[in-house]
Structure 1
Amino acid sequence: MATGTEGASSLAFHEPDIVTILVQTSFLLLLNAINALLDRLLFCGLLGQVLIGIAWGTPGAAWLPAQVEQVIVQLGYLGLILLVYEGGLSTRFKSLEANLSLSCAVALTGIAVPIALSFSLQRLLGATPLQAFAAGAALCSTSLGTTFTVLSASGLSSSRLGVVLTSAAMMDDVVGLVMLQVISNLGGDIKPIIIIRPILVSLAFAIIVPCLCRFLVKPVTLSLNHYRERHHSTKLGGILRRVETAFVLHSLLLIALVTGATYAGTSNLFAAYIAGATISWWDSEVPHPPDRENRLVGNLEERKTDDTATNSEPYPPTEHAPLPENLIQSQEPPVQTVERENVIPTPAAHTPTCGAAIYERYYQQATARILQPFFFASIGFSIPVTRMFSGHVVWRGLIYAMLMAAGKLVCGLWLFRFPLGSMTESLRGAMAQVKLPTMPHVWGKSTERQATTTNTSRQAPRPRTEEAAAAADNVPASSPRNTPPKPFSLYPPLIIALAMTARGEIGFLISAVAESNGVFSPTGSSVNQESDMFLVVTWAIVLCTIVGPLGVGLCVRRVRTLEERKNREHDGAGRDVLGKWAVG
């Protein structure tokens, strides 16, 4: 089909035959149908899309031509960039700052343990230390596409658990891409710049972009806000209020950061996340002028009428009889006061020009229905199914996959609540019941009186503690104990451990580069045949990518069932399965 088009001035149009139409139609429809079905059942529809890619692509029936597969891979990677960008838009910075140390600990564990366990390949396959390190580099990454898809399907994207998982997976992939640069140059001389450059560029993006936002973007925005407040009727204010302007600015920022990161030598996925997080920061943390809220007047008036309708039930109407007339006679002042209360800072979800609203309007449908399914199907294209089922490869692949799953499962220990705290509290309560005899003091009665007051003050909170323990399920909203209760189960550490287990695009990329550069291939092996090392690593990546999302889906389904059961038992006040980890 591509022959004779190099020197042509245009591409001749040919109507596709019916077989091509049916194959591509069934491919696209089944990608969405199986995703919807598995998301409803297990919150892991992406596994069905991977299987469809295997069946329709080169590993299976090969119904899709190679040129079509290449196009699907390219479009799917655009979907991955937009998927990571959406994850950046859902970032909550207060939660990110509060859990940064925990995210770093989870990420470092997910990097170090798989690399250390990969040296078992020296005994398992007779691998060299360099080959074992390359395999560990491929398996230390975490699939960002899988992570964001699972969080979105389970509704945990903006929760504390989702923030920890997202930032840890991002750190893992940045380290994995640094190792990719190292592995791609293993055939020649390894210079320090090969290792240092990706690290420095990633740190530069993580440090310089926030500094630019703080010391350049925010002052410019504030000065522009003052100008717009003084000149309400200028064309500039009208242009900046349009959703089309926000769409253009957001898209330009995303394209600029992705392009700059690629040419600088770091991950374009990392840049996409930073672009989304920057827009989320600008929406939620930077003050905005009132004219940015003019489009909310209708919503505010509807909300105001709803509030008056709801507030009229518990209060007698005679006390506030003149209020509706005053509001009808002067509508603008109440609207302005309501608007100016919401100006600083503007909630990110309340404006039609915020990043989340722009993404939902312009990108959501195309990403969810076409680009994202193409990405997970392209993962299925790269799985060499026909070569993976030889006996000596299967059992080695299964053992290595279990080791690599264990290497990521230990990440959940950082969220595990060891019983030491409850044992300490029990011991402390038992010690509080023991009454020690008072000792005579040389300073006389005043000290004894002080000692007795101290003893009474130490014993004073005990009735309140017993009352609080008796009324733990009925804490009022005005009580100081309005924080979410601690989780009573292992579901938070289990969810983050299973989500970190999923590998994917970065793992396949690193292993493919290592194979093409001859790192996995022993000397004298055939060029057209995959090495056993590559097949074993592929087994581990595939099984971890399947088991991880499937386990997260089963856990989330169980959590939903427990929450519904506790809500029925406690009249809607029993949502403490995930506790503080479900709060944003």
Structure 2
Amino acid sequence: MDAFPLQEPSVTSLLILLSFLLTLNLSRVFFDTFLCAGIIGELIVGMIYGTPLLNLLGGDWQTAFQALGYLGLISIVFEGGLRTDIQLAKKNIGLSTCIAAVGIIFPICISILLLHVAFGYTVLQGFAAGAALSSTSLGTTFSILSGANMSKTRMGTALVSAALIDDIIGLILAQTVHGLGDHHVSLAWTISRPLLASFVLLLVTWFLLRFLFVPHTARLFHFARVPKPYNEWIATVILFSTLVFFLAASSYGGTSNLLGAFLAGISISMVESSLKTDETDKEIILPSHVFDRVLLPLQELVLAPLFFATIGFAVPIRKMFQGTVLWRGLVYTFLMLFAKFVSSLCLVAWHHLENKYRPNALPQSETQTREEQLEASCIFPVLIVGFSMVTRGEIGLLIANLAYPGTLDQDLFIITVWAVLLCTIVGPLVVGVIVKRSPPLGKWA
């Protein structure tokens, strides 16, 4: 064909699409109101309208919505970078690394023990399933923290950094699992390339910000006399150019494009923060203003709901209630909840180390003893971090699909999906119940 023919969609198609978008937003409002976990409603709507249940959308629309939904995920992660307190993140990088490491090692080890020893699968199959369950949904983590207004707390910053590290390691594990069945690809290169690419991208970003953009942007901003009508146009170009550059660099480099989106947000935030307050108070439009005014409403009403609905598209719900698969899936889910929640105990260890080596870090209270203060500043942050890390989401399903059917057979694939799905539901659900009580975060605020 020389061109794609223009055709008017049928009334049935329009009604299905409109009802799908409307139901997505209504379900989010409903679950947010009662459980503070709107993504659960969007996931359920995705299963109903998608292939798993009624298949009202068909294959073409689901493919289109997957692409748009992934743009929503990129937008969520970009916003996370834009809102991140970089100084706070640097101060807590040790804690974040500890949480991420425990959250990766425990699920893989427990998965191998259960599936190999108890269920009779091979060690390789146990590793592949554990790799899927070692991930943390970065997009869901950002949504949970934003909905609870905790994204700029010490706890939230450490949690986001840990989820980002998990995402990078998850990409490496995904490519490793995928490469296990391809004997023509070097396994060493499969594992090392994403890690090396992530390190190089981080190093180049730091160098550009430290020596080029942050020192000189304020001077350029001061001398560039741009007419007011062009301010928004220039800010829009800068916003999208930065995002496209980092997405291209990360994707072609072999690392996660979510890391690229996150670094794009951080880069814009750091450059804007280098401008003096009096320079930004003259009704100047910055890239972050464009995001808040134009992209954020689109993300919240369309793109983000589509992303969480596409997770529902990928759940084979019809095959998940067979006897053996069902009970094994539930057992596996329980152990994977425990395996990921263990990572939150890093806060307890970090808390006691700070108490030992920095005894004056926590201010005294007239109404509480020091022991009561120490206990109060750990309970709720541990629960929030633990159940936020429990959420697997898109990366877990991606790894499971890459391993099926080459490494995972159908039963083990469904068992793995059971664990990913239930963890993705339980995590936001429990965190939503906790944050409705306005918990005290203590030293982690």
Counterpart of 1:293 in structure 2 is 281
Q: Which has the higher helix share?
A: 2
Q: Is the 8 A contact 1:486 1:580 kept in 2?
A: no
Q: Deviations over 1:263-313 (max 9, x none)?
A: 1100000110011011111122x2448544322xxxxxxxxxxxxxxxxxx
Deviation of 1:205 after TM superposition, in Å, equals 1.4
Cα shift at 1:223:
4.4
1:113 aligns with 2:109: no
Query: Where do residues 148-159 of structure 1 align in structure 2 (5 Å cutoff)?
Result: 148-159=142-153
Q: 1:509 to 1:279 in 2, by over 3 A?
A: same
The answer to whether the 8 Å contact 1:161/1:496 transfers is: yes
* Residues 61-76 of structure 1 mapped to structure 2, 5 A cutoff: 61-76=54-69
Q: Distance in 2 between matches of 1:412 and 1:198?
A: 26
TM-score by structure 1 length?
0.70
Is the alpha carbon distance of 1:469 and 1:33 closer, same or farther for their aligned partners in structure 2, counting shifts above 3 Å? closer
Aligned to 1:221: 217
Residue of structure 1 in register with 2:435 after alignment: 556
Larger deviation: 14-23 or 136-145? 14-23
**Which residue does 2:167 correspond to in 1?**
173
Q: Deviations over 1:392-449 (max 9, x none)?
A: 001111111111111111111122379989x99xxxxxxxxxxxxxxxxxxxxxxxxx
Cα deviation digits, residues 473-514 of structure 1 (max 9, x gap): 9xxxxxxx9xx9973561110000000000011111111011
Separation in structure 2 between the aligned mates of residue 42 and residue 182 of structure 1, nearest angstrom: 37
Deviation at 1:130, TM superposition (A): 1.1
Which of 4, 17, 20 aligns to 2:13? It is 20
- Is residue 495 from structure 1 mapped to residue 358 from structure 2 by the alignment? no
Q: How does 1:252-401 map to 2 (within 5 A)?
A: 252-284=241-273, 286-288=274-276, 290-295=278-283, 352-355=285-288, 357-401=289-333
The separation in 2 between residues aligned to 1:514 and 1:418, in whole angstroms, is: 36
Instruction: Report the TM-score, using the length of structure 2 for normalisation.
Output: 0.91
1:145 and 2:139 matched = yes
CA contact (8 A) 2:328 2:415 kept: yes
Q: Say which of 223, 227, 231 aligns to 1:242.
A: 231
Cα shift readout 1:548-578 (whole Å, capped 9, x = no counterpart): 0101001101236xxxxxxxxxxxxxxxx11
Distance 2:147 2:139 in 1: 12
Count of aligned positions? 433
Q: Per-residue deviation at 1:66?
A: 0.7
Cα distance, 1:106 vs structure 2: 0.4
Q: Distance in 2 between matches of 1:504 and 1:258?
A: 21
The aligned counterpart of 1:198 is 194
What are the Cα deviations for residues 430-475 of structure 1, in whole angstroms up to 9, with x where unaligned?
Answer: xxxxxxxxxxxxxxxxxxxxxxxxxxxxxxxxxxx9xx764669xx
Distance 1:178 1:471, change over 3 A: closer
In the superposition, relative to structure 1, how do residues 519 and 221 fare at CA in structure 2: closer, same or farther (>3 Å)?
same
CA contact (8 A) 1:491 1:559 kept: no
Change (3 A) 1:556 1:199: same
Pairing 1:580–2:414 present: no
Q: Residue by residue, what CA displacement relative to the aligned partner does 1:231-250 show, whole Å, maximum 9, x if unpaired?
A: xxx6x443798122112101
Pairing 1:39-58 to 2, within 5 Å after superposition? 39-58=32-51
Kindly indicate whether the alpha-carbon contact (under 8 Å) linking 2:180 and 2:187 is maintained by their aligned counterparts in 1.
no
Alpha carbons of 1:469 and 1:384: their partners in 2 closer, same or farther (altered >3 Å)?
closer
Amino acid at match of 1:514: A
Task: Name the CA distance, whole Å, in 2 between partners of 1:258 and 1:157.
Answer: 23
Deviations 1:506-556 (A, max 9, x none): 11111101104x1113xxxxxxxxx11101100110010010010100110
Question: What's 1:347 paired with?
Answer: none
Question: Is residue 188 from structure 1 mapped to residue 51 from structure 2 by the alignment?
Answer: no
Is the CA contact (8 Å cut-off) linking 1:241 and 1:292 kept in structure 2?
no
> What's the CA shift for 1:13?
2.8
Name the Cα RMSD after superposition: 2.5
* Paired letter, 2:343: C
The answer to whether the 8 A contact 2:43-2:312 is kept is yes
Matched residue type, 2:267: T
Distance 2:167 2:399 in 1: 11
CA 1:420–1:411 in 2, change beyond 3 Å: closer, same or farther? Answer: closer
Residue by residue, what CA displacement relative to the aligned partner does 1:153-183 show, whole Å, maximum 9, x if unpaired?
1111111111011000000010010111112
Contact 1:393 1:535 in 2 (8 A): yes
Secondary structure at 2:437's aligned position in 1? helix
Aligned-partner residue type, residue 244 of structure 1: W
CA contact (8 A) 1:486 1:579 kept: no
Match of 1:520 in 2: 408
Name the SS for the 1:363 alignment partner: helix
- SS where residue 242 of structure 1 aligns? helix
Contact 1:412–1:494, Cα closer than 8 Å, also in 2: yes
The equivalent of 2:360 in structure 1 is none
* Cα distance change, pair 289–541 in 1 and its aligned pair in 2 (3 A): closer
Cα distance between partner residues in 1 of 2:55 and 2:73: 24
Whether the aligned pair in 1 keeps the contact of 2:380 and 2:441 (CA below 8 Å) is: yes
With over 3 angstroms needed to count, the CA separation of the structure-2 counterparts of 1:418 and 1:266, relative to structure 1, is closer
The percent identity for this pair of structures is: 38
Q: Which sections of structure 2, spanning at least 5 residues, go unmatched?
A: 357-362
1:539 aligns with 2:418: yes
SS of structure 2 residue aligned to 1:32: helix
Distance 1:362 1:225, change over 3 A: closer
Q: Quote the residue 2:95 is aligned against.
A: 102
CA–CA distance in 1 between the matches of 2:381 and 2:229? 42
State the distance in 2 between where 1:485 and 1:506 align.
35
Query: Residue 311 of structure 2 contacts residue 393 of structure 2 at CA under 8 Å; is this kept in 1?
Result: yes
- Measured against aligned partners, the alpha-carbon deviations of 1:160-213 in whole angstroms (never above 9, x if no partner) come to 111011000000010010111112211223342121111100111122211211
Kept after mapping to 2: 8 A contact 1:137/1:510: yes
